[in-house]
Amino acid sequence: MLGAIRRVHQPQCHTRAVQSAGYDHEQRRKPHAVLGAKLSGLDVPIAPIHRIDVVGDVHGQLDALLGVLADLGYEKERDWAHPDGRVLVFLGDLVDRGPQSLEVVQLVAQLRAHRRAHCLMGNHEFNLLESWVEGKRARGSNKDTLADIRERPEAWEAQLPFLAALPLAIELPGLRLVHACWHIECVRLCRQGLAPQVVPASSTQEDTWAWVKRHISLESPFTPTGRKERLPAWGRDGSHNTCAEVLIKGFEEPVDPKVGKVVDPDGGQWSLQRVTWWLEPERYGRDVATDLPVVFGHFWHMPPRAAGDATAPRHLVTAPGQEAARRSDAASRPGRGRLALGLADRFLCVDFNGMVQAGRAACIGAYRWPEHELVWNSAGWDSP
């Protein structure tokens, strides 16, 4: 039985915090002051009739996912419909690491089939498809999932069309959604082969699911039999990644020679490391879009303690000497909560797997839009 949602301190200008016994459903239906406002000084057109919840990396953690869906107001007894017609958008990385990858994929595929959700491709789905469909060497993070595919082939084969069709990016009026990085040049190059067919708006009022679908800006780089041909290469960062991979893995730079190689959470050693593009957007101005807010996952963040906390990691999980500091930091993070963000917060990482890496229970985050608010839930809710 999950405890009451942790009430997180917020300034008076923000939306009222969740009541200690759960969500105040009347308050949940009211639009946040961010409607029609300026995010970080930018005019952001927002259609308040459409409301979405953007869910970060799940990684096979079904219990935590069910908890956050309930906290967001989705009703299991109504096939996960939301009373306000809201729609979920998953940022990818449904699989690997957790114990129930197949069950998570089955649920999200069902949500999409019932027009409750959309889902983007993460790097773990990309890597899985490379090994499963194309026969490439498995990465360490995919091995347990590939073993489960061998054990339950029919159940997984039924999900292959869904996984192979996951798109790469969604660009809404006022908001961009991608697994790792909205890289300007890579998005432009990917559009040459992955741009979806333009679907005009319906003459009748479209529902939120159809509205989000119409704003998918890049289709999947895969078919059920393998990668699509002639995907544009990138390689400027020294990697062998295609442009599609940059969007779902981020772009990289060489590791400081004094450090040698970095070790990722799955034990892999690398001479290139991911770029924390959100910390220095001006430095990467020719690469990273900063004109609109971007919601992404991928980077092992943690839920906030209070308003003003960083909305994306200050250090990569592979940064040398950070393990002890991250464990100490995670110990004070609430395992479950809800927090309205400041209007200046425009780079939002909702991958809260930094909690797992720091020894806490699996935590899944979600961003409510246009309310500009975070909601998160941990498996079993291990309160600090």
- When pLDDT is cut at 50, 70 and 90, the band that residue 77 belongs to is very high
| Single-letter amino acid code for the residue at 37 | A
- When pLDDT is cut at 50, 70 and 90, the band that residue 10 belongs to is very low
Residues 164-213 pLDDT 10s: 999 999 999 999 999 999 988 899 999 988 999 877 776 667 899 999 99
- When pLDDT is cut at 50, 70 and 90, the band that residue 234 belongs to is confident
Whether the predicted pLDDT of 21 surpasses 90 = no
Pairing of β 347-349 and β 294-296: parallel
Number of structural domains (the chain) is 1
CATH number at residue 277: 3.60.21.10
pLDDT, residue 380, reads 65
Whether the predicted pLDDT of 374 surpasses 80 = yes
**Which own/partner contact pairs does 321-327 have at CB distance under 8 Å and 24+ positions apart?**
326/354, 326/357, 326/358, 327/358, 327/359
Q: Which two tokens stand for residue 53?
A: 């919840």
Q: Does residue 6 form part of some domain?
A: no
Residues 313-367 pLDDT 10s: 886 655 555 667 777 778 888 899 999 998 888 899 999 988 887 788 899 999 9
- Chain mean pLDDT for the chain: 81
Q: Does residue 354 form part of some domain?
A: no
Residues 117-129 pLDDT 10s: 999 999 999 999 9
pLDDT, residue 6, reads 47
Residues 6+ apart with CB under 8 A from 234: 186, 189, 241, 242, 243, 245, 246, 251
Q: Does residue 174 form part of some domain?
A: yes
Task: Name the residue range of residue 235's domain.
Answer: 51-198+205-349+369-378
pLDDT, residue 342, reads 86
The single residue listed with the structure tokens 């009703």 is 75
Q: Does residue 84 form part of some domain?
A: yes
Q: Does residue 362 form part of some domain?
A: no
